[in-house]
Structure 1
Amino acid sequence: MDGATRNTALEAWMNQHGYSSNGLAEAVNLALERLTGRTGGLDGSSIRDWKAGRVRWPKAATRKALEDVSGLPATALGFVPRGRTQSASAPPQEASDSMKRRSLVGGIAAAAAAVAAAPGTASPRRVGMSDVARLQNRFAEVVARDHRHGGQRDLEQRAAALADEALNLQNAGSATQRVRSSLYAAAAAFRSSAMWAAIDGRRYDDARAHMREAQALAEMSGDQAIKFRIWSHAGTMHRHMGRPADARAANDVARSLHITRRDPMFASLGLARQGAIQGIAQDRTGARRAFDQAQEAMLRADPDACRPVWMLAFYDQAELDSLALSAYLSLGEYQTAEFHAHRCLSALRPHMARSRAIATTRLAHAQLAQGEAETATVTAMKVSADAATQHARVSRMLQAFGAALRATASGSPVVRTWTEHAAAWRTTV
């Protein structure tokens, strides 16, 4: 509006904490989603309206989200509450005095925030392990969403934005070395989730960019578990790209970390992923040996040991069998692959929706390769419409299944059944 006073307090806070208009909009939108269950609609222009003073008192939910992001009340960020509607009988002088009081309150808040932002004039905010715990809770949400949906671009972007939020806390105030290391680890964890979402969605250029940043953050954190996750993801990325030599080299870095000697569960995961790599490399002996060792290490692992949430959420007997299923499919050992598929599917936890779709599709491939076209088609039709159409990896595998079915059972009723079912998927989502 004309004559609006710039919100210098908000500008000072944003400059101090390294927020651009777009960056703050994204952070507040995420906080709004946690509060209301719906993604916020702010963008850079919304924040510029705040800074310019065109919006002096945002809506209640937006204010609460901003306060969650900043750790400050809205008034300390230069926003001015709306005064009560003045009655028609209010004397002109009273109205003028009220306006002056509101302007004074806003000016005092702006001045206080500006002073707080000035170097050397006040004690900075103390960043502590409670801030780290809040980030870890949000990371658990990202992991849970990945297991439900997987590979989605919005999940990748969300994880990347949360990595930036974790890094912004490094500049938010004073902190112990333990807290700073934990913040770098949190940022690396979010960035590795962005990397995995890109891998799962077959966006490999994006995955490599996330990987480079995640690796740098992990080194600054000194966290062995997150280093393992990133290098293990890198091995999986190269495996999906059909580059077994690069996959083996990246996975070897993960397996060489001392956390694999301290905790057999990490050793087991590294060995199981090594077995999957040996599968695409057509190394039967190496694959069998890796899976045998992975199984033995899992049996040695303490089930009650303290492990990161990403490991607890996905690596178990079902995942080991899923990796074996992948390897034996690549090796053409379809009966063995089917055995591991059934074991995987019987042990998968309910939240592993993405993993269930992948294992079901691989089972259908193993059955079809053994000449069981009808059984394989029934299996493939169990994949949910959402996974079949929205998950890049599952969609590609089902397309390959359809092509193989047409090649092996051309003209049979089962081909028509599959074609009609696949068409129905596309119309229901």
Structure 2
Amino acid sequence: MPDHIPNVQLRAWRNEHRLTRAEFAQLINQTATGISERLTVDEERIRRWEAGEVSWPRTPFRLALQQATGLSPEQLGFSPNRRNESRLVKARVMPVDALRAEADLYGTMELAQQLQASDVGPGTLEALAEAVDLLCRAYPVVPATTLRDRTQKRLAQVTQLLRGRLTFDQHREVLVITGWLTALLGCVHYDLGEREEAETARRAAFEMGRQVGHGELMGWAHEMAAWFALVEGRYEDVVKSARMGQAVAGSSSAMVQLTLQEARGLARIGDRREADRALTRGAKVLGTLAMPENPDHHFVFDHAKWVFYAATCYTWLADDDRAEEHARETIQMHTRADGSSNAPMRVADAHIDLGIVHARRGDLDAATEHGAIALDIDRKSLADLVTRAEDLDRLLRQKYRKEAAALDFHERLVTLRSNT
């Protein structure tokens, strides 16, 4: 698992201009600086720049990049201050341990007793906010049913505070905390195929954000609507909800997520030009945000997630080479040395992307192998994965209707679909 911050702004520029890495390298070499300095930029150098392995190229390369693109190195995502930064924050608690840490926090701070007594003593709200963050960080790896049950329990406890004596500021803080818990619960409900419960939670989270004027919380509620629409095949609604959310989200992770959801909706519609533009806008906003302390937090957008979303966009746009490039890098970024993953749902989708690419290229064995890997991953969003797997299944049945491998994949998908 690489220990670098991907340069998504540079990658977005190249993608929007529909250049391969080799073509981009040639463009740089042919600039005035490239010729005078006899630069020999190649695909590997572009890959290293995009992967974040080089955060501040040497002067001749920076000059040639500016001449080739018309943008400054900073606008292309490079930074002289990022040389020693790591994409992987050395967190005190890893996501796999977050649920246990959240339980320990409640016990240590005696929050359960304080909440039951509607007691907002010193540190109570700070501890509550930390507990909610831990639950949000558990989202990528904890089984959905386990996280749903824990979140429902905490939500019931926190809601008691709203009935107690609170100052205006305390009431606002509790509403925000309750809103994040409710949004998380909505996401987990949807992962489990509990769509009505998910929509009810989403609307409640939006209302709490509206009551206190919390733009980012409202933005994430709109993002959930866009996500639901994407899974359900309502692609015009994806774009509409994403743009509504962008109007309130401000400069935040929600803004990046909403812009990337817009890109996915546009890709489903087949609008390559606008999808590329949305991906580029998302990369630019992401470049203005501080590096997240906990990039595994469900309501935090990290640079690796941009690469993941781009993989799916280009799969839907049938740009197979670009889709494969982004999907493989997504798997690489999220796979540990022991083969486990810190983002199994992203890895599952990336394998579906690769399955579709291989199926279009005529490699049935590789297509079904990647599809099987996706279905075997334990932590999954059932509704989302079924929808993505149906794309692969549909293609396999069109091209390989009578092949045993295609039939086997179809039967596995039917079984999985029956659980949603």
Task: Please give the range of the TM-score, normalised by the shorter of the 2 chains.
Answer: 0.5 to 0.7
State which of 343, 346, 349 in structure 1 corresponds to 2:332.
Answer: 346
Tell me the secondary structure at the aligned position of residue 355 of structure 1. Answer: helix
Aligned residue number for residue 302 of structure 1? 290
- Work out whether residues 357 and 387 of structure 1, in 8 Å CA contact, stay in contact via their aligned partners in 2: no
- Matches of 2:393 and 2:218 in 1, distance apart? 39
Amino acid in structure 2 at the alignment position of 1:69: A
Q: 2:151 aligns with which of 139, 147, 159?
A: 159
The answer to whether the aligner puts 1:273 opposite 2:261 as a matched pair is yes
Give the C-alpha shift of residue 149 in structure 1. 4.5
Tell me which amino acid in the other structure corresponds to 1:278.
Answer: L
CA shift at 1:190, angstroms?
A: 0.7
The aligned counterpart of 2:227 is: 236
Q: Secondary structure at the match of 1:381?
A: helix
Counterpart Cα distance in 2 of 1:69 and 1:374:
53
- Residue 207 of structure 2 is matched in structure 1 by 216
Change (3 A) 1:36 1:416: farther
Correspondence 1:351-370 to 2 at 5 A: 351-370=342-361
The equivalent residue for 1:102 is none
Moved more, 401-410 or 203-212: 401-410
- Residue in 1 aligned with 2:382? 391
Contact 1:324–1:340 under 8 Å retained in 2: yes
Q: Is the 8 A contact 1:274 1:287 kept in 2?
A: yes
Cα 1:268–1:175, aligned 2, differ >3 Å: closer, same or farther? same
Query: Any idea what the Cα deviations from partners look like across 1:331-368, whole Å, max 9, x if unmatched?
Result: 33333322221232222374212221122222212221
- Cα deviation 1:259-311 (Å, max 9, x = unaligned): 22xx5x54433221110111122222110111122223323333268999544
Structure 1 residues 406 and 232: CA distance shift in structure 2, 3 A: closer
Q: In structure 1, what is the Cα distance between the partners aligned to 2:416 and 2:236?
A: 37
Q: For 2:181, what is the secondary structure of its paired residue?
A: helix
Alignment correspondent of 2:112 = 69
Distance (whole Å) between structure 1 residues aligned to residue 234 and residue 415 of structure 2? 35
Match of 1:251 in 2: 242
Q: Within 5 Å, which residues of 2 pair with 1:11-410? A: 34=103, 68-71=111-114, 126-128=119-121, 130-149=123-142, 152-172=144-164, 174-257=165-248, 259-260=250-251, 263=252, 265-303=253-291, 309-312=297-300, 315-348=301-334, 350-383=341-374, 385-387=376-378, 391-398=382-389, 401-402=392-393, 404-410=395-401
TM-score after normalising by structure 2: 0.63
| Alpha-carbon distance change, 198 to 389 in structure 1, aligned in 2, over 3 angstroms | closer
Corresponding residue SS for 1:299 = helix
Distance 2:380 2:289 in 1: 38
* Residues in 1 aligned to 2:288 and 2:380: alpha-carbon distance in whole angstroms: 40
Does structure 2 conserve the Cα–Cα contact (< 8 Å) formed by 1:139 and 1:190?
A: yes
Let me know the Cα RMSD of the aligned residues.
4.0
User: Sequence identity of aligned pairs in percent?
Assistant: 14
- Distance, in Å, in 1 between the alignment partners of 2:315 and 2:342 is 25
Counterpart residue identity of residue 271, structure 1: T
Native 8 Å contact 2:136 2:299 kept in 1: no
Quickly say closer, same or farther: Cα 1:303–1:162, change in 2 above 3 A. same
Higher relative contact order (CA 8 A, sep 6+): 2
Distance 1:214 1:411 in 2: 47
Kept in 2: contact 1:271–1:294 (CA 8 A):
yes
**Partner-residue secondary structure (3-state), 2:140:** helix
Output the amino acid matched with 2:275. A
CA change 1:176–1:305 in 2 (3 A) is farther
Measure the CA separation in 2 of the matches of 1:321 and 1:309.
Answer: 17
2:345/2:380 contact within 8 Å kept: no
State the TM-score, normalizing by the size of structure 1.
0.62
Is contact 1:276-1:287 (8 Å) kept?
Answer: yes
For the 8 Å contact 1:163–1:190, the answer to whether it is kept is yes
